[in-house]
Structure 1
Amino acid sequence: MAGKAQHPFRRRVRNSIDAQPEVEVSEVDNIRSLHLGSATVQSSMDLDDPADLVLSYTRAMMGFLLWNDDPRHIVQVGLGGGSLTRFIDEYLPDAVNVVAEINPQVISVARAFFQLPEEGDFFEVTEADGADYIKMFRESTEVIMVDGFDGFQIVDALTTEEFFEDCKRALSSKGIFVTNWWSGDQRYHSFLERLLAVFEGCVIELPAATHGNMAVMAFKQPPSLTSWDKLAAKADELEGRFGLEFGEFVRRLKEANLHSNNRLLI
């Protein structure tokens, strides 16, 4: 921006809870980012367009919109810098979005530095262990989005068979579970096998544009939309509404999952 200095800064926010990673905020070229105990970027925000999904893995997680583009209730496990929350507030204004975040310092930093929406009837953040929080729901949420990293790896409690079963119980009849995993993690295939077992094979992988991150989606019931032609038509519609690369998502789905010439096999 003209007249505005662009320079990096890092701000460390010490956590009062020893078990939780230290939270840091950095800013480079008008992109503000959150870090948890390491240099790895956990979440980023464009200060000129806070609702924009800067990181490719967050865009891939929104791939669930191909199957439900008007959810009325979303549960998030893991707040980070609030990227998904800001996007939902901007583009899905009729959705109730509730978030469980275990680290109180993350909540404080997100509120102070990352322009979270005002909390009220449509948005709420609760300081809670997401693996326990999800047990509150019974067939009452349409989408569960899980992004639980501790700064170095995926949180173990969010990859167990018990957690997946609790998530499946929490979802409504056509609900979708979405999680962000790191495909280079040596435990990745064991996570995937557990999820496939709990959701009876109704699982797909959507690689993010950047190497490594994988948006993994599980469906409580087999989705009706699997034709490549219909998915491509849906992608064209959604790109105009949400400004995300849904056509590219469909291409990546075809590369990463079992399919025939005519349809995605789920």
Structure 2
Amino acid sequence: MRTNVYMLTILLAFSLFTTSALAKVIHQERSMYRNILVEDTGNLRCLKFNVKSKKTNQSCFLKSDPNRLVFNYTKLMFSGMIVNTNPSRVLIVGLGGGTMSNTLHQLLPDAEIENIEIDPAVIKVARQYFSFFENDKVTSKVVDGRIFIKRALLKKQHYDWIILDAFNGDYIPEHLMTKEFLEETKKLLSDNGVLTANTFSISDLYDYESSTYQSVFGDFYQVKSKRQENRIILATKNDLPSKAQLETNLAALHDLLRPYDVNILKVFNSFTDKQDWPENAPILTDQFSPANLLNQ
């Protein structure tokens, strides 16, 4: 069994990093915000954005096994379910191919899932090429994430799980990284609410971003893989639960998530609350947010 899993991992890694010459572009368009490509490489289909003259994968799935999650960072996002195992209202900022939304709907069919995406072309492509699923429980809206959250606050809405995934590999919009934005987002969380944010793991921005999250949420967990790819910041509305408290939720989640190739025990072992940034790192604010200059 271990040999089969190992071979699948090797084959998947080869598919992800194979040369672009082997990829077939099946859709390409220029939206208001970016160049969008959909590429097939054998069994693998990927949504890509052209950023800084290179193409970055936003969402991928295996055509023969669409339930199996491809990206490691997507699997780490499920750290949020260790804190809240059965969220009834979920907000996702940044759609990509809709992989996270589709998976959550299968896991939590009674949950309300709202997807926020600024680019209508991304929603169209997700529907057409990645089987992004919508119904009375799963919705999508074309709106800037910051504007949506401000409006949701005025409506006194609350969410059990907020997923921030407006990260394209090079860039997170500056106005979605500031202290003021995170304060607004925190107010949207229910009392047992959890936030998971797909963020940078290596750049000068790391310290600034970490300090900003700490200024709003206090202690938080970082969820990282040894590959030094993306990191997930996991924060809560109220006091951060200890790892000992969270261990009680692992058994129920293990069997639930395995069909999606999510090893929740491995995800849990990636948790760290160690502060690895300077105490005096500057905080990003609406008046001071040089995110793009720092991310070099």
Q: Which interval holds the TM-score relative to the shorter structure?
A: 0.7 to 0.9
Q: Choose from 200, 205, 221 the match for 2:222.
A: 205
Quote how far apart the aligned CAs of 1:151 are.
5.4
**What is the match of residue 117 of structure 2?**
101
Q: Give the TM-score normalised by the residue count of structure 1.
A: 0.86
Quote how far apart the aligned CAs of 1:79 are.
0.2
**What is the match of residue 135 of structure 1?**
150
How far apart in 1 are the matches of 2:102 and 2:206?
28
**What is the match of residue 157 of structure 1?**
175
How far apart in 1 are the matches of 2:227 and 2:143?
30
Quote how far apart the aligned CAs of 1:155 are.
1.9
Q: C-alpha deviations, 1:172-226, integer Å up to 9, x for none?
A: 1121111101211221211111111111x13110004642210111111114453
Greater alpha carbon shift after TM alignment, 144-153 vs 79-88:
144-153
How far apart in 1 are the matches of 2:181 and 2:246?
30
Q: Residues 104 and 127 of structure 1 are in contact (CA less than 8 Å); yes or no, is this contact kept in structure 2? A: yes
**What is the match of residue 191 of structure 1?**
209
Residue 26 in structure 1 maps to residue 39 in structure 2: yes
Q: How many residues align?
A: 246
**What is the match of residue 94 of structure 2?**
78
How far apart in 1 are the matches of 2:86 and 2:181?
25
How far apart in 1 are the matches of 2:44 and 2:187?
38
Q: C-alpha deviations, 1:133-183, integer Å up to 9, x for none?
A: 112323511111011124532221211111101101111112111110121
Structure that is richer in helix per residue: 2
Quote how far apart the aligned CAs of 1:13 are.
2.3
**What is the match of residue 252 of structure 2?**
237
Q: Residues 139 and 173 of structure 1 are in contact (CA less than 8 Å); yes or no, is this contact kept in structure 2? A: no
**What is the match of residue 62 of structure 1?**
78
Q: Which amino acid aligns with 2:148?
A: Y
Q: Which amino acid aligns with 2:224?
A: P
How far apart in 2 are the matches of 1:49 and 1:111?
17
Q: Residues 120 and 142 of structure 2 are in contact (CA less than 8 Å); yes or no, is this contact kept in structure 1? A: yes
**What is the match of residue 105 of structure 2?**
89
How far apart in 1 are the matches of 2:135 and 2:194?
24
Q: Residues 50 and 115 of structure 1 are in contact (CA less than 8 Å); yes or no, is this contact kept in structure 2? A: no
How far apart in 1 are the matches of 2:167 and 2:68?
21
Unaligned 5+ residue runs, structure 1? 1-5, 260-266
Residue 41 in structure 1 maps to residue 44 in structure 2: no
Tell me how large the CA RMSD over aligned residues is.
Answer: 2.0
Q: C-alpha deviations, 1:61-94, integer Å up to 9, x for none?
A: 1111111111000000000011101111111111
CA shift in 2, pair 1:236/1:16, >3 Å: closer
Quote how far apart the aligned CAs of 1:16 are.
4.1
Report the secondary structure of 1:74's partner residue: strand
Residue 217 in structure 1 maps to residue 230 in structure 2: no
Quote how far apart the aligned CAs of 1:51 are.
2.7
CA shift in 2, pair 1:150/1:207, >3 Å: closer
Q: Give the TM-score normalised by the residue count of structure 2.
A: 0.78
CA shift in 2, pair 1:103/1:208, >3 Å: farther
